Amino acid sequence: MRKLRLFAVPLVLAPLAACAETTTGPGHAAGVTGGSTHCGQFDNVDVKAKEYVIQTNEWNATKTQCLSVNETAFAVSEASFSLPAAGPPASYPSIYKGCHWGNCTKGSGLPVQAATMPAVPSHWEVTPSPSGAYDIAYDLWFNKTPTTSGQPNGAELMIWLDHRGDVQPAGSQIATVTIAGAPWDVWKGSMSGWTYIAYVRQTPATSVDLDLRAFTQDAVTRGAVDPASYLIDIEAGFEIWQGGAGLATSAFSAVVGGA
């Protein structure tokens, strides 16, 4: 599940039962061959012995959305959303490590406290879509305590690699910062129960190697992340407002305490 965003008073969706519609066979989307196809509204797919989970996560729509999945590669093979760019997205198909609303991966190295976070190197390769309205973004969730079974109550930190179709983060732009050799526009806003901060890359990227700790440390200095809070979940995927088919991840990794 996800949160309603880009509203002054967002709503948080209650958990819904998984709606599985899964087939096995060749993938048909860019970057994915073999594997399986998943079209349920809230399907969860364990990959790499549940080191990661890939989720369909269609939290704000009921149209058909299908993902082709093969280990950490996944692609939106079917989607035709048509929501206004000024409102919340239809879905956030994504891969994650950690605990997403109580569903936890194995051996994640999380939770870790923001103040003592080790390096978190992450590699991500993506394929954008030439049409539609979407962002390609990490979503890091912080909680005031080490665990939660619902909406995290600390902060949400997004890292946008690319976006299309007049979408923008919540809140307003407050700064520009250079991290990992690239300039990022920093946006900050207040949600209903948590703080929101987003880093939007000025030059779109389809392949990145980032230390997620660097973004966390910057967010701490801006008062968006409490250093006493805990990082409990690292996600990477596509917030989709319109269209969606063709968006793909060909490789993803995040290692808490990695070099």
Question: Which sequence positions are flagged as catalytic?
Answer: 156, 239
pLDDT given for residue 24 in this prediction? 35
pLDDT given for residue 10 in this prediction? 30
Do 77 and 27 meet the contact criterion of CB atoms below 8 Å apart? yes
pLDDT given for residue 224 in this prediction? 98
- Cα 45 to Cα 122: distance, rounded to the nearest angstrom: 20
- Cα 242 to Cα 76: distance, rounded to the nearest angstrom: 13
- Cα 161 to Cα 175: distance, rounded to the nearest angstrom: 17
pLDDT given for residue 137 in this prediction? 98
Q: What is the pLDDT of residues 159-213, one digit of tens each?
A: 999 999 999 999 999 999 999 999 999 999 999 899 999 999 999 999 999 999 9
Could you tell me the pTM of the whole model? Answer: 0.91
- Cα 43 to Cα 67: distance, rounded to the nearest angstrom: 10
Q: What is the pLDDT of residues 34-51, one digit of tens each?
A: 789 999 999 999 999 999
**Single-letter amino acid, residue 257:** G
Residue 31, pLDDT above cutoff 60: no
Q: Is 215 helix (H, G, I), strand (E, B) or coil?
A: helix
Which domains, from first to last, does the chain contain?
22-254 (2.60.120.180)
Do 131 and 150 meet the contact criterion of CB atoms below 8 Å apart? no
Q: What is the pLDDT of residues 105-159, one digit of tens each?
A: 999 999 999 999 999 999 999 999 999 999 999 999 999 999 999 999 999 999 9
Q: What is the pLDDT of residues 222-240, one digit of tens each?
A: 999 999 999 999 999 999 9
